[in-house]
């Protein structure tokens, strides 16, 4: 598995409607979620706004902490935990805003933070 997840990575729910003509490369990351592979959050936001749609950034931060060393499998485990927390949320995207690797009593753990995002046509939530 190659290292792909980083700060700015955007995940969208599978089946999220996108503007006609918007070229967005994605790959399946988790069941029901796809990772945008050709842009980070700000780059994708610019593309979406050019098409006349909105990509809202919501202020509330979501956090997940998992035990393990800093690798893609541990990051994916943290994102899975975040997605479970947001399961009832109506928002269709998630942007990774912080990844920190720390130790407690010699045991490594990873803290991940993300913000919900909403990709939609129009300018009001």
pLDDT in tens, the chain (125 residues): 454 788 999 999 998 888 888 888 899 988 999 999 888 888 889 889 888 898 888 888 899 999 998 888 999 999 999 988 887 778 899 999 999 999 999 999 999 999 999 998 877 66
Residues forming a β-bridge with 53: 121
Residue 9 has φ and ψ, to the nearest 5°, of -60, 135
Neighbour count for residue 61 (Cβ, 10 Å): 11
């Amino acid at each position: 598995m190659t290292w792909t997840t980083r700060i700015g990575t955007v995940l969208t729910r599978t089946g999220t409607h996108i503007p006609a003509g918007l070229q967005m490369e994605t790959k399946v990351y988790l069941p029901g979620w796809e990772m945008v592979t050709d842009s980070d959050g700000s780059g994708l936001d610019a593309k979406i706004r050019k098409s006349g749609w909105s990509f809202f950034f919501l202020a509330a931060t979501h956090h997940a902490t998992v035990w393990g060393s800093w690798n893609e499998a541990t990051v994916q485990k943290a994102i899975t935990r975040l997605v479970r927390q947001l399961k009832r949320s109506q928002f269709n995207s998630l942007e990774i805003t912080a990844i920190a690797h720390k130790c407690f009593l010699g045991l490594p753990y990873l803290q991940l933070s993300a913000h919900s995002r909403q990709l939609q046509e129009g300018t009001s939530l």
